[in-house]
């Protein structure tokens, strides 16, 4: 994640020219199997397309669906009610997996299947993160997963205590905008997690790379 010094994460008018390059370069050092982001952050990557009306009235079972693919890495979204209108089943060659709840419509499931997009059910109406992470491993072999924001998905992972390490590129910006997403936005008052500092590295453009283990 790339937060400002006050933890805000929407880059708007930050004017940090090398932020994206440093973000991608840093992410690559982890050699991860997949990355996961929230529905809001995924919208620009998913694109826009029309969801066709389904002709069949046959109900579709609420079972995980692994679409045929030969990708070695994965782009994953949490989209509980099926709002993303995916244009493709991959992002730069990385196979798309979407995490849904069972409340999504048959029409939407038929759309995903026709597009060749894999999906897992996270629960009836809520997402059970430990169960999803176990199935990402058993069904797709995903062992190392980069959690790449925004604040809401990060907050749910923090609350579920399923983060091993925090890696942040602190941008040289004091943002100050009240109400903007932050590094971790937890809905309820979850207990704060204590971190152990692992490394500090100065990066071009005044960016500082901090790595922590979650205790």
**What Cα–Cα distance (Å) separates residue 211 from each residue in 9, 26, 158?**
17, 11, 16
Q: Supply the minimum distance, in Å, between the C-beta of residue 184 and ligand NAP.
A: 9
- Contacts of ligand NAP in 86-125 (CB under 6 A): none
Number of residues that bind ligand NAP (CB under 6 A): 26
3-state secondary structure of 160: coil
How many Cβ atoms sit within 10 Å of the Cβ of residue 53?
8
Q: What is the DSSP letter of 96?
A: E
* Closest alpha carbon to 106 in 65, 53, 49, 164: 53
Listed ranges 107-115, 142-150, 189-197, 203-211: which one lies at the site for ligand NAP (CB under 6 A): 142-150
- Which of 35, 86, 120, 149 forms a contact with ligand NAP (CB under 6 A)? 149
Helix (H) or strand (E) holding 129: helix 129-140
- Contacts of ligand NAP in 43-62 (CB under 6 A): none
Residues 6+ apart with CB under 8 A from 99: 76, 77, 78, 79, 80, 119, 120, 121, 122, 127, 132
150 binds ligand NAP (CB under 6 A): yes
26 binds ligand NAP (CB under 6 A): no
38 binds ligand NAP (CB under 6 A): yes
Paired with 90 in beta bridges are 95
Q: Supply the minimum distance, in Å, between the C-beta of residue 9 and ligand NAP.
A: 4
* Closest alpha carbon to 89 in 79, 102, 80, 98: 98
Listed ranges 38-46, 47-55, 63-71, 89-97: which one lies at the site for ligand NAP (CB under 6 A): 38-46
- Which of 91, 136, 156, 173 forms a contact with ligand NAP (CB under 6 A)? 156
- Which of 10, 60, 67, 210 forms a contact with ligand NAP (CB under 6 A)? 10
Interaction site with ligand NAP (CB under 6 A): 1-2, 9-11, 37-41, 78-81, 83, 127, 129, 148-153, 156, 181, 185
């Amino acid at each position: 994640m790339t937060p400002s010094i006050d933890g805000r994460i929407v880059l708007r008018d930050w004017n940090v020219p090398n932020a994206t390059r440093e973000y991608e370069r840093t992410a690559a050092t982890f050699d991860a199997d997949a990355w996961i982001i929230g529905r809001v952050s995924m919208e620009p990557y998913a694109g826009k397309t029309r969801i066709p009306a389904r002709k069949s009235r046959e109900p579709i079972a609420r079972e995980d669906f692994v679409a045929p693919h030969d990708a070695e890495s994965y782009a994953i979204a949490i989209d509980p009610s099926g709002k993303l209108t995916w244009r493709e089943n991959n992002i730069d060659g990385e196979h798309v997996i979407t995490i849904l709840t069972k409340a999504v419509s048959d029409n939407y499931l038929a759309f995903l299947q026709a597009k060749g997009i894999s999906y897992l059910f996270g629960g009836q109406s809520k997402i059970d993160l430990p169960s999803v992470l176990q199935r990402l491993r058993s069904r797709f072999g995903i062992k190392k997963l980069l959690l790449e924001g925004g604040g809401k998905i990060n907050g749910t992972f923090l609350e579920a205590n399923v983060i091993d390490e925090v890696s942040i590129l602190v941008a040289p910006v004091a943002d100050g905008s009240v109400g903007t997403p932050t590094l971790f936005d937890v809905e309820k008052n979850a207990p704060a997690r204590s971190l152990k500092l692992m490394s500090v590295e100065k990066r071009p453009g005044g960016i500082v790379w901090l790595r922590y283990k979650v205790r």
